[in-house]
Amino acid sequence: MASAIAVATVPPSGAKHSVLLLRRANDRLAAALRARYLVVNFYASGASLPAFLAASAAAEPEPPRAALVVGDGTIRVNAAFLDAAPYLRCVVTTAAGLDHIDVAECARRGVLVAGAGQTFSTDVADHAVGLLIDVLRRVSAADRYVRRGMWPVQGDYPLGSKLSGKRVGIIGLGSIGSSIAKRLKAFGCVIQYHSRRPKDTVSFRYFPDVLSLAAESDVLIVACALNNQTQHIVNKDVLEALGKDGVVVNIARGGNIDEAALISALKGGEIAGAGLDVFEKEPDVPAEFFSMDNVVLTAHEAVFTTESGSDLCDLMIGNLEAFFDGKPLVSPVLPN
């Protein structure tokens, strides 16, 4: 099983270590990588992924021992991927979620994994609160109402609902979930949560299952990882338990919610609204959402701010440098 420390390696004299780049990089990250490493870029190769991984084995002066991987699920680091790239000893992902990486398989093969750590936690938490306020107070819908010239014609826009005092159920009280809880507690909300196990460090009420959490909540915020246990963790039964005045916010992964059940619940007035940053088949978003004024949509952007982009670049470079220097990774991911 892999630890979080690699054995330092030295490339041939005067050469740079090779790194597989399996994500599109902004200018800052691309420049930082090129300054330190020989970058073997999948998106610039024009090859299929299997052909690219096979060809990379012959890279000079050495096969790439580390890879920087996109976190949107388009590339999955699983047994088949590792079979095709047996030269890899470290995978660095730019995502907070890990549903695209088989961490246990990596550990079994001695491949280190580093993630985004807590880089995105504050930005995602801010976005979640923004989505919730928008849905409750109908900010985006009221904006469209004013822009269409409806105010002088039809009068004041219908009232929204206040945030203060709402019972907010958070699914997943990790770094992001805890940051959301901290913000909403300041708004005067009652925080409760479901997680794999109770947290000794918080006083919030714990629910052992999502169904009972939903029944006692006005708002459900999904902030958990996506895995076999959390696929469609918010389903038809959970939405029914949440009730007609309930609101759902999802800043985790699209697969955490049964999208068909959510659309049905919204159409039928079984819940009051939803704020969604993620979807099951991105970038395709169900057209049914587009005509719903009680739904706020964003394009999987909760993690992205100017500041988080800069912090992420520093973290990715820090992990790669630590790996090649034989030091502990900065943000290691270990199997459960």
Rounded to whole angstroms, how far apart are CA atoms 48 and 122?
36
At CB < 8 A and 24+ separation, what contacts does 75-79 make? Answer: 75/22, 75/23, 75/49, 75/100, 76/100, 76/101, 76/102, 77/101, 77/102, 77/106, 78/102, 78/105, 79/105
Active site members? 253, 282, 300
Rounded to whole angstroms, how far apart are CA atoms 44 and 275?
36
DSSP-derived pairing of the beta strands 66-69 and 90-93: parallel
Phi-psi region of 172 (alpha: psi -120 to 50; beta: other; left: phi over 0): left
Write down how long the chain is. Answer: 336
Residue (of 316, 331, 328) closest to 21 by Cα position: 316
Residue (of 300, 290, 306, 265) closest to 96 by Cα position: 300
Residue type, 22: L
Record the tokens describing residue 231, joined without a space: 């696929």
Task: Determine contact, residues 301/126, Cβ cutoff 8 Å.
Answer: no
Rounded to whole angstroms, how far apart are CA atoms 110 and 128?
36
